[in-house]
Amino acid sequence: MPEDSNPIPNWQRQDLPPTLSQRFEFESYPATRRFLDGVAKLAEDAGHYPNLSFGKTYVSVTLDADGKKIGPDIVTLAHKIDALVTKTE
Amino acid sequence: MPEDSNPIPNWQRQDLPPTLSQRFEFESYPATRRFLDGVAKLAEDAGHYPNLSFGKTYVSVTLDADGKKIGPDIVTLAHKIDALVTKTE
């Protein structure tokens, strides 16, 4: 893909340092908690730990690549995190 | 207590809006995860949901009081969160 394209359009791409981030909103704390548990499972499976900020009804996820360019493994993780939303709502 | 005193000295007090915050560092992801699960349990019991930011080996906790002054319930929650650390390390 082109150097400056966004590999996953609904996420926010940042370049210095390279990160992909996304904010998710939920109807309730239990839905937030289910999503967080799902992200934790994905992170453990991938061996890659996002930075997360969350409150009662929102979660902000930031994926970095340890200073390297965002590669396909990170994009795959972002897609898997997106896919959790329909399962947790 | 005096209006401007810090009700829990090892936490950072902020006044606009009123919050108490603290950053915790851990040796490993499993220790981080145990601490997060402990905070979630305390939050559910208290019916008060902190804002948390975390990565593989750190957690930043911010307690607010919905725009009101920090009261004893929030300070109690902060103490309980502190007490988790010795259990999760």
Q: How much is the pLDDT for A43?
A: 94
Average pLDDT, rounded, for chain A: 88
User: Nearest CA of chain A to the CA of B9: how many Å?
Assistant: 24
CA B3 to chain A, closest CA, distance in angstroms equals 27
- B35 close to B85: Cβ distance less than 8 angstroms: yes
- B48 forms beta bridges with none
Contact B20, B62 (CB under 8 A): yes
Q: Do B33 and A56 touch (CB under 8 A)?
A: no
pLDDT for B68: 82
- Test A33 with B50 for CB contact under 8 angstroms: no
| Residue-wise pLDDT tens digits, B29-50 | 999 999 999 999 999 999 999 9
pLDDT at A89: 56
Best B56, B59, B63 member to test A by mutation, with max A CBs in 10 Å, is B56
How many inter-chain contacts (A to B, CB under 8 Å) are there? 28
Q: How far apart are CA A17 and CA A4, in angstroms?
A: 14
Ranges A39-48, B8-17, B79-88, most confident: A39-48
Global pTM reads 0.84
CB within 8 A of B54, min separation 6: which ones? A51, A52, A53, B32, B36, B60
By Cβ distance, the residue of A40, A44, A53 closest to B53 is A53
pLDDT at B56: 93
Note whether B54 contacts A51, CB cutoff 8 Å: yes
Residue B67 has pLDDT above 90, yes or no: no
